[in-house]
Structure 1
Amino acid sequence: MHDVVMLETPPLPRVVDDGVFDAYGWCASDVLEWRRPRVLSTERRVESANPPGLVFVLRDASAHAFLPRELARLHAFGYGLDDEEALAPWAIDDATDRLYEHRARPHDVFWLAAPALDTLVWGLHDWAHFHNHGPFDRPAMTELQCDLLALAWLRRNARAIGLDDAALGRVAHDLAALSRGRFADEGVAAPVPDLDALFSGPYPAAPLAQGHGGSTASFHSSV
């Protein structure tokens, strides 16, 4: 059995520098419909690849034929799905571009199937991408912004999800480790010296310094 939970995903200011996104907050995020199992698995850590079971199911596939699609029941199990279609799991980047091009509000397009905590975290991360368009030529900074949004939304909805402080702390630790690896792979400095402290704390109240030379972003609201 699955319950429907409406997760609050309000817009938050951009904290990375100006060049990372070309249309931050082109659509103000508001709510994500999540269909969740009665008992949420929290054992898996948040890792670099999208976990199995993360599925954005289309409300009306015919109205959004511009998106790459596959049968939802091939990827989301136990939801009673038949001929419903979902965003192809490989097409998150394509969806980010095409939703922006067609000015399609993500909540009008999708609901989220996510059977476990790591799946939900990645779903929220992708939800951030869908509302904030960028060229993705600075991946580590782009992903940092989306991770910070996802974590802030997770904390906001912790009671509705059923998460305690320990579970939230594990997610924050995992996201910090992923971010550290991305900056290392890209060969650039992170915008803060301690990513663990960044993710352990509240959503930043001011722009982060750039990893490229120490200048700062202008604080830009997504609304």
Structure 2
Amino acid sequence: MAVLRTDRPQRMLAIPGVYAPQQDSHLLMQAIRREGVGPGMDVLDLGTGTGVLALGAARLGARVTAIDVSRRAVLCARVNAALSRRRVMVCRRDLSAIASSFGGRYDVVISNPPYVPTPPAGLLRSGAGRAWNGGHDGRALVDQVCACAANALRPRGVLLMVHSGLCGTETTIDRLTEVGLRARVSDRMLIPFGPVMRSRLAWLRGQGLVDEGQHNEELVVIRAEQP
């Protein structure tokens, strides 16, 4: 179990198999603050992991529900909420349950889903890699968020989702537009490849996802608003 420090003086626990907060988490948290999340607002965190974003929204005064399909992530987020003395409802749910369980209830939906393109032998449904493996094009979970987020949002509600540009920024915007949301890129950040990306660099180049000599990826925050 690791003890992590976020950009605030808060200690976060991360257990093996649960995604530890990194640059993408911090980039998305900046967007959440800028969105004006605060008291009286209802926020849904899809794929909460350690709960860092859910707790960030709760510290701003929002009522927060956080879901994850991983039992480890749910446990981790609940422990972090208790340690932080913040009220966050943490549930073990699959994204497919969003439409029936959370229809039209939220002002803001946030998500940092697994999005790393994954070779066929990579684990998607179990193991430690579940925290970052996103399927062959990185979009297995990104597309699920695109498909279900609109059902969870109130009128004028907003989705904020972060992912790598390697899995298709314009594709995400198109998917969200198809379900009736007004989508755009709100934030960008260029970062060096991390250990997971470096470990599969040859495969990524073979798939045409990474150019020869490329050692950085762009992170993007997609903002999509319900009319």
Shared fold (TM-score greater than 0.5)?
Answer: no
With the length of structure 2 as denominator, give the TM-score of the two structures. 0.31
With the length of structure 1 as denominator, give the TM-score of the two structures. 0.31
Higher RCO (CA 8 Å, separation ≥ 6 residues) = 1
